[in-house]
Amino acid sequence: MPSPYPHLPFLAWPAQWREHGLRGDLVAGITVALVLIPQALAYAKLAGLPPHIGLYAALLPAVVAALFGSCGQLSTGPVALTSLLVGASILPLGATAGGDLVGLALLLALLSGLIQLALGVLRLGWLLNLLSVPVLMGFVNAAALIICLTQIPPLLGLAMPHSDHLLVDFVRALGGLDALQPAAAAFGVGSLAVLVGLKRLWPRLPGVPLVVAATIALSAWTGFAAQGGAVVGAVPAGLPGFSLPPLRPELIAALLPAAFVVAMVSFMEAASSAKLICGRTRQPWNQDQELVGQGLGKLAAAFTGGLPVSASFSRSALNYANEARTGLSSLVTAAFVLAALLWLTPLLWHLPKPVLAAIILQAVAGLIDTGVMRRAWRASRDDGAAAAITFLATLAFAPNIQNGVFTGLILSLALLVYRGMRPRVALLGLHEDGTYRDRERFGLHHPHPRLVILRFDGPLSFVTAATFEDAMLGAARAQESVRVVLVSAAGINAIDATGLHTLASLVERFHGQGQKIAFCGLKKQVIDAMERDGVWTRISAHSNYRTEHQALDALQPALAAAGPAASAPAP
């Protein structure tokens, strides 16, 4: 049932509270907060920003996205994939911005938020569907692998250099194993092992907050920071102040392509979560309204010192598993983040940075799904090749992984056009079940020595007109005495000016050869276009048939009057 408040979804929450109660939202909000707070610190680090920026992004942006989004279970805040895109986009521009990476992140949040908001308000969310699932999964798998590579050195306490070649940086980092800090490696590897073990053996336990609490206590007790270990350090206490992104034209121009990628990829992540959850709860989901909510969330981040946010698949699943029904769960989560900012920041001082790397690795490992790419290859070689090319391009361009998305987008559009230019065309024969089916596939005969039936499965447009013309000329030569080519047109859903021009030319050409074109199964919108163009008056006598059987019965006199079989002139 559609929401009575499609543009203000939060007004419908009280009705759901009366029906389902508040317990699910409250429990889910607390549970997600325990995971979100350490993740926010880790994902800010992944973006190359101070840890507290992640907490700022988990506060007001999460509230705004929950209020205006259409799926109550989505948990908005810092996420791994978007954070990696943020880091890849702003780090190369650090010198141009005078080292102000936070300002660049704010500007990126502003631009990507405006893009999403505009798409949602103008109801253009369908444009984001141009990125096919195989291409998206190729990118996600490559990005997840890149995140893992970037986090292995800090997991071991090694410095990770930054250049234009990620794989070279990774090899250089591992080449410095002589500088490995045993204590840092113990914190990192030990935390990762515990997180993986807890997830497998006791999945209902809150592994991330337990590990964070334990490592903070152990770090303080052993004096890890005093021994030269890397810790989070001072986290500013209190609420974030009002921030204004640096609105410099050269920075806007440089970040605009990256903002489009962030808007597209982050919404794909949010949409995948929303579709899955709403499909299970049978709640309505509005793609354009979700774009508005996610866009406003990014704008809130831009003006409150955060980084671009998105809906987290894992935290949203946690909301769903704890029976959250509305965005109140996100408000509860934000309240705990607020409490952490006001009173708990001193406790974070001793948190080892290798533990943050372990949190990222454990969360991101779930994004790697090579099975999706294998299934795409089995379904279609084109899709499989597109996924593989996107995967390799993303790795090759790393750390500038936004170029991998552009590669995938171009591939998606190219495949769309390529497939559109090659609609299925078949010559039909009478099957034993009484229907007309593909002659070649079923080994059938033509229904009449002077008639050929051609089925065209696609719109007759500027993209397919050449294919239609070639198919018609081939059908005219399919038998030596063809007098009529009957087009089974149930699959033709539309026709444009190029299609009409091609059809008119074929009518003239066939007439000059002593042949006719007939249609059966034409749809109303196609006939209307033919009438407006004037071509209908030239073909209507033999084009108003509903089925192949009706057409054959009606065309029998014309076929008999054609006289003895004779070879049709070569078109």
Using H for helix, E for strand and C for coil, what is the string for 480-499? Answer: CCCCEEEEECCCCCCECHHH
CA distance 350 to 233: 6
Find, among 211, 338, 204, 258, the residue nearest to 84 by Cα: 258
Q: Do the domain assignments include residue 567?
A: no
CA distance 439 to 428: 5
Last residue of a domain, one of 414, 444, 463: 414
Last residue of a domain, one of 414, 441, 470: 414
Which residue has 């559109």 as its token pair?
420
Give the pairing of strands 75-77 and 310-312. antiparallel
* 185, 285: one domain: yes
Q: Where are the alpha helices (DSSP H) in 494-547?
A: 497-512, 524-533, 536-539
Residue 547's contacts (CB-CB under 8 Å, 6 or more residues apart) are 520, 521
* 358, 465: one domain: no
CA distance 483 to 510: 9
DSSP-derived 3-state class of residue 263: helix
CATH code of 555's domain: 3.30.750.24
Give the pairing of strands 451-457 and 436-438. unpaired
Per-residue pLDDT of the chain (571 residues; tens, 9 = 90+): 455 666 788 888 888 888 888 899 999 999 899 889 999 999 998 899 999 999 999 999 999 999 999 898 999 999 988 998 999 899 888 888 888 999 999 999 999 999 999 999 999 888 777 777 888 888 888 888 888 888 888 888 887 777 667 777 777 777 766 667 889 899 999 999 999 998 888 887 878 889 999 999 999 999 998 888 888 888 888 889 899 999 999 999 999 999 999 998 899 888 888 888 887 877 878 899 999 999 999 999 999 999 999 999 889 988 888 888 899 999 999 999 999 999 988 988 999 999 999 998 888 877 788 787 788 888 888 888 888 898 999 888 887 888 888 888 888 788 878 888 889 999 999 999 989 999 999 999 999 999 999 999 999 999 999 999 999 999 999 988 899 999 999 999 999 999 999 999 999 999 998 899 999 999 999 999 999 999 999 999 999 999 999 999 999 887 877 554 443 433 3
* 21, 160: one domain: yes
* 505, 541: one domain: yes
485 strand-pairing partners = 452, 517
* 410, 429: one domain: no
Find, among 300, 265, 344, the residue nearest to 56 by Cα: 300
Residue 565: its pLDDT value, please?
A: 42
* 404, 482: one domain: no
Find, among 378, 375, 261, 372, the residue nearest to 308 by Cα: 261
* 50, 107: one domain: yes
Q: Do the domain assignments include residue 515?
A: yes
* 396, 522: one domain: no
CA distance 333 to 408: 35
Residue 234's contacts (CB-CB under 8 Å, 6 or more residues apart) are 345, 349
* N-term to C-term CA, the chain: 57
Residue 571: its pLDDT value, please?
A: 38
Q: Do the domain assignments include residue 565?
A: no
Q: Which domain holds residue 59?
A: 9-414
Q: Do the domain assignments include residue 491?
A: yes
Q: Do the domain assignments include residue 4?
A: no
How many structural domains does the chain have? 2
Amino acid at 326: T
* 434, 402: one domain: no
DSSP-derived 3-state class of residue 336: helix
Last residue of a domain, one of 394, 414, 434: 414
Find, among 215, 72, 65, 83, the residue nearest to 146 by Cα: 83
CA distance 91 to 100: 10
Q: Do the domain assignments include residue 52?
A: yes
∠ CA 84-309-68, nearest 5°, is 160
* 371, 445: one domain: no
Residues, the chain, total?
571
Q: Do the domain assignments include residue 39?
A: yes
* 268, 121: one domain: yes
* 203, 277: one domain: yes
Q: Do the domain assignments include residue 570?
A: no
